[in-house]
Amino acid sequence: MKKLLILTNFLFVFVLLGILSIHVSASSFTDGDFTLIIESNNDITITDYTGVGGSLIIPSSFTDSFTITRTVTAIGNNAFENNSITSITIPSTVTSIGSAAFKANSFSSISIPTSVEFIGDNAFTNNNSLVSVDFNGNDSITSLGNAIFQGQV
């Protein structure tokens, strides 16, 4: 009987720890028009935007359901694709811009913060109004994807 109780308690703790680790490693939430993932380092990646376009200022942080403020460090693949965005402000907390992150929008200029180290393939492809890109003297970029400005006129 005692062995059964110990075994039952062990299984309960094992299952509980497994559930908690799954919850912590794959936590996502929405805040307004943004869908966000909390990464393993507790920073945030923006994975989707459902807003109507126009002028957009990306916040540098969000507060999750536990009322913990977390920093936006990455813009995920296709996060702002085809949203009719006419102007964009990327916060200085962002270090990574994913593939096709801003594909097929309508902004005429973009300023890449000096914090950005990675820009994925096709990140700004098919922004037909784009005429100005400012890298702000950024020498931190360690990876620059293919065809990031393809399709500009």
Average pLDDT of the residues of the chain: 86
Q: What HEC string does the chain produce?
A: CHHHHHHHHHHHHHHHHHHHHHHHHCEEEEECCEEEEECCCCCEEEEEECCCCEEEECCCEEECCCCCEEEEEEECCCCCCCCCEEEEECCCCCCEECCCCCCCCCCCEEECCCCCCEECCCCCCCCCCCCEEECCCCCCCCEECCCCCCCCC
pTM, rounded to two decimals: 0.81
At 19, is the pLDDT very low, low, confident or very high (cuts 50, 70, 90)? Answer: very low
- What one-letter code names the amino acid at 143? S
17 has a pLDDT exceeding 50: no
Look at residue 23 and tell me whether its pLDDT is greater than 50.
no
Give pLDDT, residue 66. Answer: 80
What average pLDDT score do residues 2-8 get? 52
Per-residue confidence (pLDDT) for residue 30, from 0 to 100? 93
| Structural domains in the chain plus CATH codes | 28-144 (3.80.10.10)
Q: pLDDT for 103-118, tens place per residue? A: 999 999 999 999 999 9
128 — pLDDT class (breaks 50, 70, 90): confident
Percent of the chain with pLDDT over 70: 82
41-94 pLDDT, tens per residue? 999 999 999 998 899 999 999 998 888 899 999 999 999 999 999 999 999 999
